[in-house]
Amino acid sequence: MAPKGFPELLKEHEDELVESLLHWSLSNGLIMYPPNYAKYQANNAPITLFPTPFPKKLYENAIEVQEVFNELYVNVISKEKEWLIAKIKELSEFDQSFTGELFNIYQKILSENGGKLKQELSLGLFRSDYMINSVDETIKQIEFNTISVSFGGLSSKVGKLHQYLNNSGYYDDKYSMKYYDNEHIPISNSINKLAKGINEANYYYNDQTHNTKTVILFIIQEGERNVFDQRHIEYSLIENHQLKSYRLSLEKVQEEVVINNDKLYIKQTMDEVSVVYYRSGYGPNDYTSSKCWESRYLLEKTLAIKCPSILTQLSGTKKIQQILTNEEILKKLLPKIDTKTYNQLLSTFVKIYPLDDSEEGKYAKKIIFEDSSKFVLKPQREGGGNNIYKEDIPKFLQKIDEKDWGAYILMELIHPPKYSNKIIRNDEIYNEDIISELGIFGSIIFNETTGEIKLNFESGHLLRSKFSSSNEGGVAAGFGCVDNIYLYE
């Protein structure tokens, strides 16, 4: 059955819908700081007016494979460590100043501690991102994020907003009915589930160290505009788990912490930190000076559980994503997987090629100059916004030295369906076709040495949408926004 489109409202009804949407967003923390903000003033976050259709079956697929994906990455990190490290070494060649630096810290810590980690337990708060491929009606994984996954806070809020607008009748042209069945526009419980992941890691730390009163340390960017997204998780930690959090930037860590017997303390209070939760440190821009790298080193070498550890962070590079699409490797890493789940997992992969001297790499280097129209070129590094599409790829590759091609992967283009929706940014309404990306959050606590998994659970969803034209680089105004799913069968 085709999904119904968004409701056609009279101008005056849309005005009321928008006013109610803005009041709700501002009242309930669905907000962001604007650029050049004052700390006492916030704007509504860019969001869609309506939830966006998403086939129920594909949403369920994504939910069903999340724990398997969590496990897959944990198995890479723990059971194929040598192999992972070899790959990271290769990557470091292309990216000495970031991947290389992280890897150096990892090696240094091991060598200082007789080849062992001080803290073998690791917390992963992951997010697997998908787009629908309309060619074969499957979801295809865009990337698997292993550090600083964001929008778990605002995603819960936008779901509540859409249900509020639905319940209040604003989506109905006569105000008298619910336009959607609330079951079809589920609210992501990501705020509480991500907080639960952190709380559970805190529990394991306390169990290990015979502690009772520990705190969480959020590592944050100075001047973060998306701070409320993070704060919602902090509020859930204190409200639901009586667990206190501190916030420090990498710039300030060294002045504000004390390390004693490998334990990490907040200097002022001597509160002991159980979990270091990175909401910064995922890209080179987060390390503004060598001081920040030292901070990272200091944190890593403590007994605190890191979310994520360096190896977990580095397992999220696109190179690993590319390798994991190989069926043999996949079977080796998930030996006990049942056929149904295995096929579900496989169905989410698009072809990804390396651009190196392997057989596959050689093949890719050939075909990209024959027909580039089916591909996107992505840098290994985190960040986004640096992708190169279609016919721009050969031109780009010709401009750089072939030995640097290995810093990129070549990925088959996904053809997402376009939907009508309306995006609100400040008080401007944009009415264009959008494409959407579904993210599924996952929480996992595991032993990085033994691979033992203590806890593994799916942790809510996120839909982000942008103008379909912005994917092609055509529209300057193409910004993303937080959306929610409207499930249809």
Nearer to a copy of itself, 13 or 162 (CB): 13
Q: Which residues bind a copy of itself (CB under 8 A)?
A: 13, 19, 22-24, 26-29, 31, 34, 38-44, 164, 167-169, 174-176, 227-228, 231-232, 235, 238, 242, 244-245, 266, 268-271, 424, 426-427
Nearer to a copy of itself, 239 or 402 (CB): 239
What is the closest distance, in whole angstroms, from the C-beta atom of residue 438 to a copy of itself in the complex? 25
Active site residue 150: yes
The span from the CA of 227 to the CA of 80, in Å, is: 36
Asked if 436 and 51 touch (Cβ cutoff 8 Å), the reply is: no
Cα dihedral 266, 271, 276, 280 sign:
negative
The one catalytic residue in 67, 80, 143, 272 is 143
The span from the CA of 184 to the CA of 56, in Å, is: 9
The one catalytic residue in 306, 318, 381, 422 is 318
The residue whose two tokens read 């890691």 is 201
The one catalytic residue in 101, 200, 272, 382 is 382
Nearer to a copy of itself, 19 or 371 (CB): 19
What is the closest distance, in whole angstroms, from the C-beta atom of residue 275 to a copy of itself in the complex? 16
The span from the CA of 259 to the CA of 250, in Å, is: 15
Please, what's the b/e burial string for 395-415 (b: 16 or more CB within 10 A of its CB; e: otherwise)?
A: eebeeeeeeebbbbbbbebbe
Active site residue 474: no
Nearer to a copy of itself, 143 or 272 (CB): 272
The span from the CA of 178 to the CA of 176, in Å, is: 7
Please, what's the b/e burial string for 5-41 (b: 16 or more CB within 10 A of its CB; e: otherwise)?
A: ebbebeeebbeebbeebbebbeeebbbbbeeeeeeee
Nearer to a copy of itself, 153 or 417 (CB): 153
Active site residue 279: no
The one catalytic residue in 319, 378, 381, 422 is 378
Active site residue 318: yes
Active site residue 381: no
What is the closest distance, in whole angstroms, from the C-beta atom of residue 258 to a copy of itself in the complex? 14
Active site residue 112: no
What is the closest distance, in whole angstroms, from the C-beta atom of residue 463 to a copy of itself in the complex? 21
Cα dihedral 184, 187, 188, 192 sign:
negative
Active site residue 473: no
Active site residue 383: yes
The span from the CA of 13 to the CA of 146, in Å, is: 42
Tokens of 217: 């340390």
What is the closest distance, in whole angstroms, from the C-beta atom of residue 276 to a copy of itself in the complex? 18
The one catalytic residue in 150, 156, 188, 192 is 150
Nearer to a copy of itself, 266 or 298 (CB): 266
Contacts of 392 (CB under 8 A, 6+ apart): 372
Q: In degrees, to the nearest 5, what angle opens at C-alpha 66 toward C-alphas 199 and 418?
A: 120
The span from the CA of 42 to the CA of 226, in Å, is: 10
The one catalytic residue in 145, 155, 156, 471 is 145
What is the closest distance, in whole angstroms, from the C-beta atom of residue 416 to a copy of itself in the complex? 28
Active site residue 226: no
Active site residues: 127, 143, 145, 150, 318, 378, 382-383, 464
